[in-house]
Structure 1
């Protein structure tokens, strides 16, 4: 706005005067030689941080990265065909986000234009990102202006992005490996980066003050809705609490911070509120200090979400340390790795950190998550488990976020609360998170960042407070590399990762067998069931691809076949015998006369075992067959032979 431009200081980020870039670059080159003693001929590309080191830079930037992403995508769409990559770096020069053409991944990597790359003057010498950070102004560093030899083919245009308090948040950069020699060819690119950076600043301002009234100001009424000159945020009393970076750079409104709107503009706060409630029609006003006329459009404050009743102090009572230790110690058993997991879990519980459990299917991830819940201060509140792989993709959105009445055909008349809202105050366990559809990954990321959920068909968000625990058997890092899992969600979920060992690797298999025989034996026979040394040896030597879940099913089946007597090798499935049917010892061979009676009893026991396995696995034939060491075809044949009908087919 012209009525403010006269106050803009030369170093605040406005248009650079002749020779400004040149003097900045010369000062940087001098520092690179004399202060950092860099070798301009050093040949390796810029350093790229490891995944764990990069996480420390990304986590503080998560909210802003999500806001800036749209501007980055717009910028990339404008310059993609010209061979550019778009980087967002933090104030340490580390690339925390980037967009590129994947066809040229190897070229970008070799040039150091990659996620986690470090562009600092201390390491790279003169480069655009480093100068934008140091000088806090927009700049293009072109070809030979770069200090180090490997960077001299690059052209880089970088623009600082400022927060609502005027401090730097990030740097937006557009770089290309090949470009014309004339630096003037980059003037338009720099302006595009400036525009995208301003979009990110304005979007961040609107998000930061979404619960405040915001005035969009412009000298020209025609441009008010599409390209405002700046924004002002007002509190409930009409005081100016913030101004956007575009106005901050011009300086004229800085003294207005903390003053009422009437003291700065020829405008009453009642007029602002009336305009907001009546559809936001433009207001005509003038800046009292300069007398300059301008126009204002009011964005009303967003109503704060009403949170469900917070758990009472009694409900959220502190759990004694020994109670938490006991809950996790039981699940950890005597295995050193599991005991380490239990100790780490106790340290991070109730710290607001998301926890990721990684382990093979059946290794006890949900049981461990329940133990963590019991060990936390949320133990009196709900533990809500969601298997992301078991819910059809068409239903997972309504299952997680809920819906209001009439949201879709077939919706309940009163709507439904989603699993996330049901877990308010307690623990939300997302099992098989790697199988969550990508569209839902985006929505989940927003829920985690905003701590609120909006049901389908509703515009009113609901505040939620949950301890998030996720689990997967998949390699999420590999899925990220293949574009199957969002990188930002991955970093959000694995604040703490606990590796649960496979059963074959656990040192306490003996103790686990005894524990299951004791627990399940009491359920079936009101006492612990014994096991012979030969049968135990078979169990200890088996590799258990289904882990604890498989062991439990094998033991329950063996208990049924043994009739509550000591489990012997012949009661164990063929898979435990290496695929061969069990051989009875000579002393247990039966006469032909008694064989028919035994066969009848064996059929009864086998039918009972199959029925129990089907019920345990909720009539999932594949899982039941795996637990019994049989093929699916064999299970179906036995079901037909013994007239076992799934409850889902009773009405057929």
Structure 2
């Protein structure tokens, strides 16, 4: 905490700068002096009425959150960890975007009310030209970590704060946002800036790894000591298939003396003495082994190639027989929803283990997409993928369609007969969609095929051995159908090697990513997006037709755009869906006017029950409720 003489010296120095345009020597450092000068240039005064400052309206804030959804997703867990470290000091942890708009705050309830009085809350802008010298705005302007203590703030109304902020950078060196911890001046800790810088580095590394996985790039981890691999002190390079460096974390930037302009221009062999082909060859032999490498100045490092997509790399020297397998198609469909990812992870674990997979979910949730991705991720990917919709084939034809028929088996049969779809799946994957709608008589024959692994065509003939991986899907609860006698229980247990449930669109957390991917597929090279207010309402809508309905709506909306339009708004929607969305909004508004007290009562009741079941163990109660311990404490005080 600054003593009274230091406070007075700072106040005099600031006033001297305002009146004379220069700073007395030795009072403040260069960064603080530059920030004060920028504050004066913006027309701010240390005291008096604060000029009107920017505060995002709800729709504008929503657009900011959508634009930064990935940064938010990877920052929130780290912010919770950071809050646990600074919690005793009555602080607030803040995440701002690269324009200084606060997006998410997590704070001590006793301090939050004070911080909100100076607009330290979501939606507020803390750029220097609006709030004067402050850790968020000054870190944004200087693009470096910084602390601003008490009277160092340009506006005296912010003098009760002590703040530490660090920028969050992308793997290409672009500023993504600012992470900040603010608290009362007298509670400031000397280690806070170090904690914030460490937390920002954690977020940067998580974003880099996620970017590698999403884009199927390679990454190499470096450290001077073998034990340093996997720690925050490691350097990470992101590589394209030809060995070009297309991303790096801060440590790697410093280690290889790179700047952001060199990202994308340098190749791996320009910074170390080992080429990518050698690293890939060793990775295939021993994936976890570290490789000694040298910088061109002779410094020894240890390197480890890490990738979920070795197959994405084209090895010029590799023959087709030795080429790596295709990339994991399941991961390509992963847009970040944890429920969907859990289902895909379970499917991935049983691939190639002769375990049948049953996919359940509402109509339109993407069951066939998951099935195709499972096939393409398996060792049978080069074999056929035969999809049969059991609900779409007439009952009198389904037997011949599935099992084939001998020549002349029935009137209208092909002269040479037909092998049937089960034989067509030989060596590949058979996908039986809407298996719950298969007639009971066909269920009996299918069960026999699965047991004997042989197909006997309709009308006689020799039995033919079949070998395929089996995936099934249904919109109904197959176990309940079996219990009611509407589906053969013995077939159900034969199909139910692994059952996964796909979430409905209304239950997914990745709506923005899904909508963006659908729009990107509609018009290559044209950047299309949804108006923030429309996107917000779409996220709240129930979508009874799920992904199929959303895709249809967006496809129609894109067709309604003029050539010079990129933003999809209400006027571009089909009339029926626009009416449904507006009706849902009116209903939600009516409910929300009555809900706060009821919701608060429900929340308190749920907390009380969780605490009772956990015998007062707050951590266990928080896990039961699916919230953090800090959130539970905050809700207990509401």
**TM-score category (smaller protein):** 0.3 to 0.5
TM-score, normalized by length of structure 2?
0.48
Radius of gyration: which is bigger?
1
TM-score, normalised by the number of residues in structure 1: 0.47
